[in-house]
Amino acid sequence: MYPPIEPFETGQLEVLASPTLVHSLYYEISGNKDGVPVVFLHGGPGGGVSPKDRQFFDPAKYKIVLFDQRGAGKSTPSACIEHNTTWDLVADIERLREKLAIDKWHVFGGSWGSTLSLVYAQTHPTRVRSLVLRGIFTLRKRLSECELRFFYQEGASHLFPEEWDLYVAPVEPAKRGNLMATYHDLLTSPDEKTRLRAAKAWCRWEMATSRLIVSEESIKEAENDKFAAAFAGIENHYFVNEGFMRDGQLLEEQSIAKIRHIPTIVVQGRYDVVCPATTAWALKSAWETSGAVHAPFKFYIVPDAGHSSREPGIEKKLVEAADEVVEKY
């Protein structure tokens, strides 16, 4: 990772979502004012950006753009799920690009950020120099491929039974047949204590399972009221609405064909239980369909890592990937 740096510009992008709602999106720019632009798309959705996210990029070469998506981090209103969809976020990325007078930029995202990166690139392919993606997530729902079911209903539960018990604790046993739907009821309850208890349990489950070695610091983050409310509430909102996309949309041939010309690097933790490697492999397979002409697509499995971008092996590969694309593209 590069040394810590501070932004040279911060601001709020005001988006009139309805006559009564303005989403104010926090953004910041760091690195080289005249550098090659890159936009960092955070996870969750609802996770927000961190100062450490700037450190994936060489500050002498990159103009580094970070922003908090609707309802996340320093964006307001916090935890708001109104007028908050995948397509709203894609439009926000374009608004920010236009505001900053950027023609094309590198796009860098992990987990939900990889989802949003793919959707953005497929919608605005001429604006993307390269894609650097980590922990691929596409919200596929067919039973044999169901990414959400594996993590939130049955799958990861077999690997982290002690944390699973804490995750399901707010839910009555009779209502555990569809945990995402039941959690949606809890997270939108009129009772604040009910909402907050559910939000913290939802967040802890992800924080406790995101690394090969559990991070106590990450688990503590789940106890932060503001973070938990935004992260859990927005994430669940997107998931019960199936990402506001068709099942399998991101891997359809018509979708992949739009971005095959974009140089892409994928970094995937071998033991990622949040976004298992099977989805990253499915993206690679779709990209390299027999006979299809495509830009370079590099695929790296990190053998001693789970999901988090903060794991040493993943950090190293992501920095190398960012260094590579800024030199080549």
Query: How far is CA 139 from each of CA 64, 104, 191, rounded to the nearest angstrom?
Result: 28, 27, 30
Asked if omega into 77 is within 30° of 0 (cis), the reply is: yes
CB 215 within 8 A of CB 188: no
**β pairing state of 128-134 and 21-31:** unpaired
Tell me the one-letter amino acid at 194.
Answer: T
* Torsion-angle region of 37 (φ positive above 0: left; ψ -120 to 50: alpha; else: beta): beta
Q: At a CB cut-off of 8 Å and minimum separation 6, what does 145 contact?
A: 248, 278, 279, 282
Residues with a catalytic annotation lie at 111, 272, 307
Q: Return the structure tokens found at 101.
A: 């007078």
CB 277 within 8 A of CB 301: yes
